[in-house]
Amino acid sequence: MEPIKHRITHYWSHRAEAFQTQRIREFEDEKHERWLKEFHRYIPQDRPLRVLDLGTGTGFFALVFVAEGHEATGIDLTPDMIDRARQTAEILGLQADFAVMDAEEPDFAPESFDVLVTRNLTWTLPHIEKAYREWYKLLKPGGVLINFDADYSAALEDEEEHELPENHAHKLVPEYMKAENEAITMEVGAYHGPRPQWDVQLLIEAGFERVSVDMGAYRRIYAEIDEFFNPTPIFCLAAYK
C-alpha cells in the first residue's frame, strides 16, 4: 500500500466510531430522504438494482439503497470503517455486504453492478483516473456512477467561514486531527486537476458516454447549517456507461 493510503487509513480509523454515530443519526434524519431524492434523479425506479457503495465508510449510502429494496455492497480501505458499517447494518436491521477493499482496485467481476455511488471519496484517491477506468468496467451497460464530492484542496485556500453548531463533526475533531486532515488533503490534491472539470475529462477518457455535473445538489441537501452540514460546496457527477 502506498504511504499516503496508509496515512489516510490511519486517520479514518481514529474517526470511525464518531463517524458511525453521526451516520446513524443522519440515516434517521430527513437528510436520508434528501439523498434518496438526489439518487432518484439518475437511477431507474422500476426494478431492484445491484449497487456498489465506494468508500462506504460506515455504510450510509449502501444502507439507504437496501432500505429501498435494492441489493448493496459497500467497500472501504479502512478496516475499522467496515467493522462499523457491519454494526450499523445490524443496528438498523438491514442486510448489506461489506468488504475491506481499495476503491482504486475493486475486486469484482466486470459488469457486476447497475449503480455505483460514492460520497467524499475521490478527493482521497491519488489515482482518480485509474479508479474511473476500473469503475467503468464494473458497470453494466446503461449503468450509472453517481459521485458526490468537492475540490477540498482548493477549498482550503478560500473556504467560506460558517458558524457551525457545537455538535458538528468539525467541532468535535481535535486540532491535531484537523491538521492531519488538511495535510492529507493538500498532499492528495497535488495529484489532481481543477474539479469537477478535470473529472469530466477523465470520465470521458475512461469510456463513459454521458457525463453531467450538478452544482445544485449542495443547496438541496445542505439547506440549513446543522450537525450534518458540509462547509465545502459539493458537486454531483453522474456518468453513464
Say whether pLDDT at 134 is over 90: yes
Res. 238 pLDDT band, cuts 50 70 90: very high
Res. 154 pLDDT band, cuts 50 70 90: confident
> How many Å apart are CA 178 and CA 181, to the nearest integer?
5
Q: In this structure, which CATH number among 3.40.50.300, 1.10.10.10, 3.40.50.1000, 3.40.50.150 belongs to the domain 3-240?
A: 3.40.50.150
Q: Could you tell me which of 37, 74, 69 has the C-alpha nearest to residue 59?
A: 74
Give 167 or 52, the one with higher predicted confidence.
Answer: 52
- Residue 160 pLDDT: 60
Say whether pLDDT at 222 is over 70: yes
Say whether pLDDT at 142 is over 70: yes
> How many Å apart are CA 158 and CA 113, to the nearest integer?
38
**Residue 100: what are its φ and ψ, rounded to 5°?**
-80, 120
Three-state DSSP string of the chain: CCHHHHHHHHHHHHHHHHHHHHHHHHHCCCHHHHHHHHHHCCCCCCCCCEEEEECCCCCHHHHHHHHCCCEEEEEECCHHHHHHHHHHHHHHCCCCEEEECCCCCCCCCCCCEEEEEEECCHHHCCCHHHHHHHHHHHEEEEEEEEEEECCHHHHHHHCCCCCCCCCCHHHHCCHHHHHHHHHHHHHHHCCCCCCCHHHHHHHHHHCCCEEEEECCHHHHHCCCCCCCCCCCCCEEEEEEC
- Residue 161 pLDDT: 65
Q: Where are the domains of the chain?
A: 3-240
Say whether pLDDT at 73 is over 80: yes
Give 211 or 157, the one with higher predicted confidence.
Answer: 211
149 strand-pairing partners: 235
Share of the chain above pLDDT 90, in %: 88
Which amino acid makes up residue 206?
A
Say whether pLDDT at 157 is over 90: no
**Number of C-beta neighbours around residue 163 at 10 A:** 6
Q: Measured on CA atoms in the order 36, 91, 86, 176, is the torsion positive or negative?
A: positive
Q: How far apart are the first and last CA of the chain?
A: 30
Q: Could you tell me which of 11, 114, 5 has the C-alpha nearest to residue 53?
A: 114
Say whether pLDDT at 52 is over 70: yes
For the stretch 82-125, pLDDT in tens is 999 999 999 999 999 999 999 999 999 999 999 999 999 999 99
